[in-house]
Chains A and B, each alone.
Chain A
Amino acid sequence: MSTTTLKAWYWVHKWTSLICTVFLLMLCITGLPLIFYHEIDHWLGNAAEPPDMPVDTPRISVDRIVEAARAQRPDDAVQFVSREPDEPHVWFVVLGKTPDAQEASAFYTYDARTGELLLDYPLDQGFMHFMFTLHVDLFAGLPGTLFLGFMGLLFVASMVSGVVVYGPFMRKLPFGTVRRERAARTKWLDLHNLLGITTLVWASVVGITGVVNTLAWPILGYWQYTELADMTASYRGKPPLIGVGSTQQAITAARAAEPGMDLSFIAFPGTLFSSPHHFTAYMTGTTPLTSKLLKPVLIDAQTSAITAQRELPWYVTALLVSQPLHFGDYGGMPLKILWALLDVLTIIVLGSGLYLWLKRRNISVEEWLHDVQPEASDAVVSFPAVPQRESA
């Protein structure tokens, strides 16, 4: 690599890092408690604990649970009913001010066997909500999310350029060397290089999947506009629904249509994830990977007849696979702990990078390369990529 090329990559590394570091530090710090969102919710008492009952206790009709949720908030619309594989005894019901509202107005947890309201989740408040909103959109909605996505792209660029400059800078230092006896700045340069290169693959995957997640609304919007519209084309222009049919029948029909799958959530007519005339049941597989994917099944909201079912296109599948790879919630508590440790290591890489810039010395790349060599006497022999005429 010529010195000019190396200088250019170094410039890219410096500036992409400088622009994104403050935001990336925020993302890493707010992301740390979010890894344990589920556990913290349990600890704070924001999780339903359904009472123990005999395993063969029958489940009541979902319709009664939907009625109960409507009775709780008669002015709001039921948007989604969902379940979690690891919490088989409860149904979650999401309501909004209107059917197509983007914000939920209530999140209820019901006992699937008794219909008892177990939890009215405290929305839009608390420490975790603050951390979550800061992490997702800086309290600035979709523009905030897209801005953070752009910072994520810069982070990816800073990692790519960091790898490019890593090679030339490590020509004289065996892997893992930390020159502790030298100046603090040298020690932190070595640690920045070491931690940066060891956490590289994890940080890249979490960075790239984070960028993909910032595109969730545009991706889903495009899918609604193209595929979902196509699936419901024959209903276009039909008069609006008079009374919605049975949710339970819709779920039963979807389960019969996809016998090897399980329900993840069902979207109500008129919501962003369905059509004005349909329930849309989102079915998941039962293997570790397919349980992260969804297959929509459209059910006529009045007759409960299946009208369409098809796989999601690749770009929605990419979004769905990006989620576990960003959250680290797919391999039990040990994986979450590793996620947290790698997150802390990334904070150290970001912090040390900032420190190196603040303590920068006004020296050229050539001088710096000279400096990373172990013995001054080696300097002249060592770096053939640095033409003598340029350093003169």
Chain B
Amino acid sequence: MNTTLTKTQIWSTPLALGAASAIGLLSALLADRLWDVLSWIALAAPVVVSVRGLWWPQQSATQKGTRLARTHHL
């Protein structure tokens, strides 16, 4: 079993969070009201992901790998 991740698997979530952060940082700067709200939602994304990692961490790769192996009869 080789579980080496592809570049897409490694980078898709960080890129999405980076884009959300950039939207959050810029939208409130460029316009008001609804754009402020968009800014709060977008900038909350990295906070939510970080807090989830701190308090409710993902299953470890080992457990996940084992489970995957079991379901796929590897």
A→B interface (CB under 8 Å): 166-167, 170-182, 190-191, 194-195, 197-202, 205, 287-289, 292, 321, 324-325, 330-332, 334-335, 338, 341-342, 345, 348, 374-375, 378, 381-383
A288 to B29, CA, bound (A): 6
* Cβ contact within 8 Å between A288 and B30: yes
A342 to B50, CA, bound (A): 9
* Cβ contact within 8 Å between B5 and A172: yes
On chain B, the residues within 8 Å of A173 by CB distance are 5, 61
Q: Which DSSP category, helix, strand, loop or mixed, fits chain A's interface? A: helix
Instruction: State whether A199 and B50 are in contact (beta carbons under 8 Å apart), knowing that A330-B29, A331-B39, A374-B3 are contacts in the complex.
Output: yes
* Cβ contact within 8 Å between A177 and B49: no
* Cβ contact within 8 Å between A289 and B50: no
On chain B, the residues within 8 Å of A201 by CB distance are 17-18, 21-22, 25, 46
Q: Number of contacting residues on B, CB 8 A?
A: 44
* Cβ contact within 8 Å between B28 and A335: yes
* Cβ contact within 8 Å between A325 and B60: no
B32 CB, min distance to chain A CBs, angstroms: 5
On chain B, the residues within 8 Å of A172 by CB distance are 3-5, 61
A191 to B12, CA, bound (A): 18
Instruction: State whether A335 and B61 are in contact (beta carbons under 8 Å apart), knowing that A174-B5, A178-B53, A194-B50 are contacts in the complex.
Output: no
- Write the chain A residue with the least CB distance to B13: A175
* Cβ contact within 8 Å between B61 and A374: yes
Which of A177, A191, A199, A292 is close to B60, meaning CB atoms less than 8 Å apart? A177
A292 to B29, CA, bound (A): 9
A177 CB, min distance to chain B CBs, angstroms: 5
A378 to B3, CA, bound (A): 8
A131 CB, min distance to chain B CBs, angstroms: 23
Instruction: State whether A374 and B58 are in contact (beta carbons under 8 Å apart), knowing that A175-B14, A338-B47, A342-B46 are contacts in the complex.
Output: no
On chain B, the residues within 8 Å of A321 by CB distance are 29
A200 to B49, CA, bound (A): 13
A223 CB, min distance to chain B CBs, angstroms: 23
* Cβ contact within 8 Å between A174 and B9: yes
- Write the chain B residue with the least CB distance to A292: B29
